[in-house]
Amino acid sequence: MERITPRVHGVVAAYRADPRTVVDNLRDCARQLAGVFIVDNSDNMDAGRWADAQQLACPVHTILNGRNLGTAGAFNQGIRAAQGAGAELVLLLDDDTRPGTDMVKQLVTAWKELRVDDAPVAAVGPDFQDRHGAGKALFVQLDGIHLRRIPCSAGAVIRSEYLMSSGSLIDFAALKEVGLLDEELFIDYVDTEWCMRARNRGFNCYGVCTAHMEHSFGERQLHLRWMPSIGIPYRSPIRHYYIFRNALLLMRRTYVPARWKLTELKRLVLLLPAYVSSAPSPLRHLRCMLIGVIHGIAGRAGPAPPKLGQ
C-alpha cells in the first residue's frame, strides 16, 4: 500500500494501553498515513515503552501527558500537532481500534467524492465490527422523536447524525469553522457533540460502508437478567457517570436538536434499570449514574470527582 493524497495524519488517544497491541493495530493503516501522533494519557512517562512504534511504516511521534486529559484533550493535542505537520485530513483512533487494511483509502475516496458533489463534509467514518459481539455499526438519522438506525445495505455512503470519534476522518476546513472537540465533556458524547455542532454550522457527517474496522464497544457484553438473549455493552460505573452527566449537559445546549434530547432521555431511562438489575456491583453503577444526573443538572463539567467509581 502507498500513502495517499491529500496528506492524512493519524492521532491515537491512548490510556493505560498495551503499546504492542496499539502498534499491531496500526501496522497496516500506517502505510497509508503521512504520520501518526500517539497521545498517551496514562501516568507512565517512560517514552521507551513506545519504542516499537518506530517500526511502523510512517513517522511516529509520542506525546506523554503523565495524567488523564480525557479523550477530547488527547485528540485535540494530536490534531494541533498534525496540523503543524502539514496534515490536510486527520484520522482519529482509540487505542483499541484496529483499522481495516484499506480503511484510510476508502474514507479518503468517499471524502473526495463528496467534495466533488459540493457536499459540506465535516467527517467521514467507517463501518465497524464490535470485538465483543455487539454486532456491526449502524449509522443514525433522526426520525421524529426516534433514531432511525440505517444498515450499510442502504447505500455505500450514508449521512449520519453523528459518528464515533474513533475511525473518523476529519477535514481541517471543517475544524476551522466548527472548532476542536469539547474538552469539558472529557470522554463520552465528545463525538456526538462535535458532529451536532458541525451540523449546526452547515456541515454533515457520513458513514462509509466500504471502509471497515474493529472496535471494542464497551468492555464486554452484558446480558440482561430478565432477558438473557439481549446483550448490551458493559461499561464501568465511572463511564456511566460521564454518560448521564454529559447527556444532560448537552440537553442544556441550544444547537442540540430537541428530537435528539428526547430520544437520548428515553435511552437513559431504559439504561439505568438495565444496569442496576443485571450488572455486577449494581449500587456502584447506580451511585455513579445518580451523581452524573446531579452534576449534569448543575452544569458541572470536566473530569469526574476523584475515586467516584471506586
CATH of domain 8-95+103-215: 3.90.550.60
pLDDT tens digits, 254-266: 999 999 999 999 9
Query: How far is the C-alpha of 59 from the C-alpha of 53, rounded, in Å?
Result: 9
Give pTM, 2 decimals. Answer: 0.93
| Structural contact between residues 125 and 206, judged by C-beta atoms closer than 8 angstroms | yes
Q: Which of 14, 10, 62, 54 is nearest to 35 (CA)?
A: 10
Q: What share of the chain is helix, strand, coil (3-state, %, to 5)?
A: 40, 25, 35
pLDDT tens digits, 172-191: 999 999 999 999 999 999 99
Please tell me the predicted confidence (pLDDT) of residue 270. 86
Reported as a pLDDT band with limits 50, 70 and 90, residue 281 is confident
| Structural contact between residues 213 and 267, judged by C-beta atoms closer than 8 angstroms | no
The two counts, helices (H) then strands (E), for the chain are 8, 13
